[in-house]
Structure 1
């Protein structure tokens, strides 16, 4: 049978599977029925000796072998025995039981081929001593188990004999590994067979149909007493055999199981046997061995056995001494390396720069004769700079500094050409070892051992050492020690890099904190402006309603008034109300900027219209106008009205700045084809803007003008308009030398700000029937004004004070037009419009929304529902025109 072993775990390739063992056990000889029955009968406490003798005499072979063993001179019977009955009577049950076991086991399980004879003899010697010790232990703890304990101890290692018989080569390999690795026998068997002699012996005992209590002794003798107690109802017998086995191992100086002393202590405690009695048990065992060894053809003098064991132990100790000397030598070198490792760790603990790191590494290695030449270097993979140090045993050191190519190859200066060839070769080959792994890898480039590590896209570093001959011949522990040194260096390098990064982050943080403070101030100002915007929107809503009532009443009075003087006064009231309304509109536009209504426009035409509007006052202030228009200018997409508002604000500001001293006002344009943008500059020669005010100039309500010349909303509104056009507005100003406002606009933003579709106005046409209109508004005075104005035009009017009542009226009656407010109690105007568009009867009902505070989103929703929007306060004539147009469209 061939045995195949592995260097890693000595596993044997697989004839020795558990299935194979079972099949081979089934091929072993079956004990004769008479012999097995005689053995079982001899184990009974109340055995009938006559019955036992007659049973044994029924087998002639068994009779002959029993008589030969009993008549042996060493047994000490007074005369020769001729019958089994005489042997049983004169020799006693114990002698007969030994004879039976000697016949059964020795004859039917001889112990393998010749080359295993020595191992087989050792097993039988160990088993016999274990059986004797088990009987003696049982006599002092559980006397009724004495005879059974003897048999259990004798048979406990029967599984080893099975392995030796079935797989002799594997048995030899198990013994070799056990001695080489200093393993206990169960561990060695498990590594190779993936089972052990306890399990194998149990299978054989069950096949031979031995009593259950003997099977448990064979199976459980290597278990802890707790496991025995949980596995067997009669744990005492396996515990006795287990203790006897451990004590025998101690007597024969064999390797005990792991934690053998703890196992002995646990068994002694469980069996309530004092440790002081062990010496007496060993003495009695030696005497009993001499009586029983004859039945097993074993050496009768146990001292001779011990002598042989001692000789083997001395031979082993001699080999261990040589091995220990070699290990001590290696250990001395390892200790030296560890000492140097500790010194290096302490030296590098406080370094804060790469320069200090290089110097400390070279300093610690100086005088360490194991390293004849050493190199440590770092390649910064961002700057491609190589920096390091070389040291030679004896104290000479040299710095390394150069750059590397993109492929990692060093580029040496002329003064570095005299580097030693081996060193140049190691550094030139480093590009082949470069990697981004944090793990330390080991390679060889004779005479250097190289330890490499790095971090992807950050750095790469190597420790290269040339070892002396005696260190090269050491085992892997030396290289492990140098790997730990490389680990310390790597940790120190990364700590230095972290420290440098922290310093940089500290500076960045200081700058960021300063910027944060500036932004916080801006946020505070922005929050204040937002609050002002909300206040403006709320104020506009509250003011617009009463203004609408005043305006409408004034317009009605003006229409009825015949006196021209009173008519002019009423017109003045209406004009001032429009002025107030315009201020409120500006406030609301500031709070909620309107999106631009994009159209194709000529920027020069817009500038000319603004200049024509206010240019007539320039001569009064000695202001000369100059236009510098770019002839390449092309049309742009923008909101013409909003652009006029921006340029009007900027040119008025320029005029105000030059009113005292006059000067030249320059309006210039430029087309930038590369960026598809236009630039407009408004340049004045006025008083300029103080530096501390330049950052505030676009803030709402901030103004440098004298009282009454501005509200402070012009530039802030202009900034909002330009931002909505995805443009930029900025300024340059020097106090006393004028100011330049620069506006930059994209040529085409139609994809981002699509132009709203234009609807053609329907021509006026007379109303064919007397229409009915429903007015919904929560303001009673507005309802009255609207009702009066509409009835004067021949229109029937119904009113509702909230959205809910108005919706109920629409369900009951038919109307031709709906006038409603958005902000109403119970139900708002938009909710009413949504219901109308989904209803069956009023889905097409025209709607005009009269509101003072509608947002751009709300106005967009009104348009989506097909409605029109009129701002409060409104012109009566304009309202009536919109009403007539809506009614005509509905009729058409």
Structure 2
């Protein structure tokens, strides 16, 4: 009678698909079922306190079972001295253990092996199961005595599922064996791959149909479970560990080569879990071997242990032979791999100091020529931007050859005649490189026409490949060797990137050097300009101080000459006047050299001027991480100005800003804009530097005043800039607070001509007016001697003379009285001559004016001439020339 299988009752730590479960259930339903009396007898025999009479009575109730027991017990190898005729007698003479063994042999040995081809393999499996049972029993006797008998039965039955597979799935069993042999898998792994199930589940299903005790079922289901699992759904962990351990020891003793390489970890783990030492294991193996010899006859097995061990030794020799061959192959592979690793290390050492591509190609070729497995090689790079292919090709025993060619529009190489003899296979690989470029930053490995090709594509766009032709069978199925080649490709890629960065750094260094030299030249030129400005100011001051006493001497000499009657003295006085004129000309020439020329006005784009200055100082700002923010007015218009002088102003201002921010990163903001009436432009330069103290701010435009360290400036930059802006009729203001930065504001007129009103008929009289009988003249000069000489000279000409010692005094006198002529010096204290002239013109635009100056600038004289009827005479002056100009002015 068969028994239907309920799959919902199966519990196993292994996972299977439902298709595999249904198939095994269908097959197992057709297997024979053990007679109920046999199951009852087996269950009863497992109890240590079983009554022998009760056990023998149950056996004798089944004639078939009785006959098989008597047959086995009467066997010559059972050890009995006489034949037995009853089960009771057999039990009394042989003992309960022998009866139990005979009973197991009877129950299971005849249930299987309907296929004669499998009988030998099933016998080997029974040998393993019996050895497992003996080992489990002996081990239990030492550590769990109460489990001795059931451990034996668990060992006998633990692989019953494997017998099910051999009997019911013979084709699958052969497939499992082939997988074990081909891949070296364990039996259970091969079963899972071939059948999607395993013998543990098959055995569990079978014995549950037979109503075998639960402890035995757990041994069958979990004997391949790794030790230490706390989630096994069973309370029989000690028994399961005993059977698992005995299973592994049995594989070792019987030299099951498919298990030997995998049992070490499990064996040691279970030893520790069971608390067994190595000496304990040896004793257990010795006793179990003896016990096996005694019990083998009950299972129709060879009891001669020597015969068994001869078979074991034969298997072991076969295993050792296979291991020797595998070891030889592995040693060759390791030797090749070590050579490849050495090549990688040598290349790394060679390439570390390399900083150019030619040397890199040389090193790569030399390295691979020393690698015995490589016969031909080619390393090249493709630069799509330059449309250039460059590389080196080598062959063992021959010279290497460098290659360089350009790419056509399709990116394909155009070889010269000398390079056309590249091997066809290699040439084909090169022409097909675009199909392997991949994404930037990627690496790939391919085998093309017997060449091993590793490719890399750098983020910079450069593509490279290493093509190696290796000896036969090299790198076949050797992932480690392929990984080394990929590592070499990565090394080459990184080295090319290092070379690129080095070349870029060299280029930047050259640019920086040129910028530094240019900056030095600009600084030298600026310092020279500042020195010339200083010389001009010194010369102007000296000339003014010299001209005043020189004018006095000259005037006195001329007056004496006019009064002198003696001709000889007249000649001597005339000689004095001539020498004075000579000194005056020398001073004038010196001033013409030192004084900056008046601005040459032209249409000027102020944004372009500022940008030129920023370009000059770009390297300085970049070096100290200074950010330039330009807020240009898009509606800015061109102005009338001297672009060279204006550029010098902004150069001075921005150099000062850069120096102020040397120790402090920050931003410089440049803002431009138009005034509301569109007659002026405004440029603001604001830095975030150290700022200027109030004390220093008052002296900021003084010549030679500087707060910079020695060698960084002359103190004339802002003074010169201030003068340039003044010459353009503009404004130059500086606002600063210590620690908060500085703001420089420059205002320039759009057209200077608007500030210079032209002479008109009203202001420049063309008709001559009659001269008064005694014209009244105002003399304004800060030199008392000059005032006295002019007063004396004009009074001798019947003119009324009023004198003023400075501009403010002269203004007050013009407000109190009216004059026919004004003799005016320009540079005076309190109020200068130009300021006085400006006030006078407000009241009287037609008053004739004669400027008498020592060294007034061209701009100052032009400004005076632009304010109405005016003449100019430089000190020292000729009295006759002065009188002539006075009469001329009085007639107009």
Shorter-chain TM-score tier: 0.5 to 0.7
Say yes or no: does 1:107 pair with 2:107.
no
Determine if the alignment matches structure 1 residue 382 to structure 2 residue 389.
no
How far does residue 125 in structure 1 lie from its aligned partner after superposition? Answer: 0.3
Structure 1 residue 106: Cα displacement: 0.9
Cα separation, 2, equivalents of 1:322 and 1:300: 34
Aligned residue number for residue 318 of structure 1? 321
Give 1:263-274 correspondences, 5 Å limit: 263-274=266-277
| 1:291 equivalent among 291, 294, 298 | 294
Q: Which position in structure 2 is the counterpart of 1:95?
A: 98
Structure 2 gaps of 5+ residues are 1-15, 520-596, 606-633, 654-680, 686-720, 734-746, 756-892
Equivalent in the alignment of 1:693: 649
Aligned to 1:37: 40
Pair 1:208-2:164 in alignment: no
Cα deviation 1:577-622 (Å, max 9, x = unaligned) = xxxxxxxxxxxxxxxxxxxxxxxxxxxxxxxxxxxxxxxxxxxxxx
Match in the other structure for 1:51: 54
Q: Paired residue for 1:712?
A: 731
CA apart distance, 1:136: 1.7
More displaced 10-residue stretch of structure 1: 694-703 or 348-357: 694-703
**Secondary structure, aligned partner of 2:173:** helix
Which residue of 172, 177, 182 maps to 1:170? 172
1:56–1:319 Cα change, 3 Å: same
**Paired residue for 1:131, among 130, 133, 140?**
133
Contact 1:731 1:739 in 2 (8 A): no
Change (3 A) 1:508 1:97: farther
Matches within 5 A, 1:418-437: 423-437=426-440
Matches within 5 A, 1:215-614: 215-227=217-229, 231-255=233-257, 256=259, 260-394=263-397, 396-413=399-416, 415-417=418-420, 423-446=426-449, 448-455=451-458, 458-469=461-472, 471=474, 479-501=482-504
1:435 and 1:113, CA in 2 relative to 1: closer, same or farther beyond 3 A?
same
Cross-structure match for 1:159: 161
1:378 Cα deviation from its structure 2 partner? 0.8
CA distance in 1, matches of 2:469, 2:419: 21
**Contact 2:74 2:84 (C-alpha < 8 Å) held by counterparts:** yes
CA distance in 2, matches of 1:138, 1:156: 16
Matched, 1:119 2:121: yes
1:65 to 64, 68, 72: 68
Q: Taking structure 1 as reference, are residues 511 and 55 closer, same or farther at Cα in structure 2, changes over 3 Å only?
A: farther
Q: Distance in 1 between matches of 2:412 and 2:599?
A: 70
Offset of 1:447 from its aligned partner? Answer: 5.5
Q: Check the 8 A contact 2:442/2:458 in 1, yes or no.
A: no
CA distance in 1, matches of 2:753, 2:427: 66
Instruction: Provide the alpha-carbon RMSD of the alignment.
Output: 4.4
Structure-2 residue corresponding to 1:721: none
1:493: how far off?
2.1
The Cα of 1:395 is off from its aligned counterpart by: 5.0
When residues 370 and 90 of structure 1 are mapped into structure 2, their CA distance, relative to the original with a 3 A threshold, is closer
Partner of 2:200: 198
Instruction: Give, in angstroms, the shift of residue 380 of structure 1.
Output: 0.8
- Give the CA deviation at 1:233: 2.7
CA apart distance, 1:161: 1.0
Shift of 1:481: 4.3
- 2:443–2:454: 8 Å Cα contact kept in structure 1? yes
Q: Name the CA distance, whole Å, in 2 between partners of 1:334 and 1:451.
A: 17
**Change in CA separation of 1:301 and 1:419 when aligned onto 2, cut-off 3 Å:** closer
Tell me: CA distance 1:68–1:514, structure 2 relative to 1, closer, same or farther (3 Å). farther
Q: CA deviation at 1:681?
A: 6.1
Retained in 2: the 8 A contact 1:158–1:218?
yes
1:442-500 Cα deviation digits (max 9, x unpaired): 44554643322213671111112233446487866655543443333223223333444
Does the C-alpha gap of structure 1 residues 451 and 100 become closer, same or farther in structure 2, counting only changes over 3 Å?
Answer: same
Q: How many residues align?
A: 560
Q: Which residue of 1 aligns with 2:149?
A: 147
- For 2:104 and 2:599, the matched residues in 1 are separated by 137
Query: What is the alpha-carbon distance in structure 2 between the residues aligned to residue 687 and residue 71 of structure 1?
Result: 132
Secondary structure, in 3 states, of the residue corresponding to 2:129? helix
Larger deviation: 489-498 or 221-230?
221-230
> How far is the alpha carbon of 1:211 from its aligned partner?
0.9
Q: Distance in 2 between matches of 1:667 and 1:130?
A: 107
Unmatched tracts of structure 1, length 5 or more: 1-12, 517-659, 669-676, 715-728, 742-892
After TM superposition, the structure 1 stretch with the greater mean CA deviation from structure 2, 699-708 or 45-54, is: 699-708
- Alpha-carbon contact 1:57-1:63 (below 8 Å) kept: yes
Query: What displacement does 1:170 show?
Result: 2.0
Distance (Å, rounded) in 1 between the aligned partners of 2:728 and 2:245: 113
| Shift in CA distance, 250/15, structure 1 to aligned 2, threshold 3 Å | same
Contact 1:77 1:91 in 2 (8 A): yes
User: What is residue 580 of structure 1 aligned with on the other side?
Assistant: none
Report the alpha carbon displacement of residue 404 of structure 1 after superposing the two structures with TM.
0.6
Give secondary structure in 1 for the equivalent of 2:683.
Answer: coil
Paired residue secondary structure (2:40):
helix
Query: In 2, distance between residues paired with 1:147 and 1:662?
Result: 123
Equivalent position of 1:186 in the other structure: 188
Shift of 1:265: 4.0
**Would you say the 8 A contact 2:475–2:482 is kept in 1?**
no
User: In structure 2, how many angstroms separate the alpha carbons of the residues matched to 1:334 and 1:144?
Assistant: 56
Following TM superposition, by how much is the alpha carbon of 1:227 offset from its aligned partner in structure 2, in angstroms? 2.2
SS in 2 for 1:17: helix
Q: CA deviation at 1:221?
A: 2.3
**For the structure 1 residues 270 and 432, does the alpha-carbon distance in structure 2 shift closer, same or farther, using more than 3 Å as the test?**
closer
In structure 2, distance between residues paired with 1:87 and 1:418 = 95
- Measure the CA separation in 1 of the matches of 2:645 and 2:359: 55
1:386 partner SS: strand
Q: Give the drift of 1:371.
A: 2.6
Distance 2:165 2:223 in 1: 17
Offset at residue 37 of structure 1 (A): 0.6
1:295-337 alpha-carbon deviations (Å, 9 max, x no partner)? 1110111221111121122233223333433443343333333
Contact 1:53 1:84 (8 Å CA) reproduced: yes
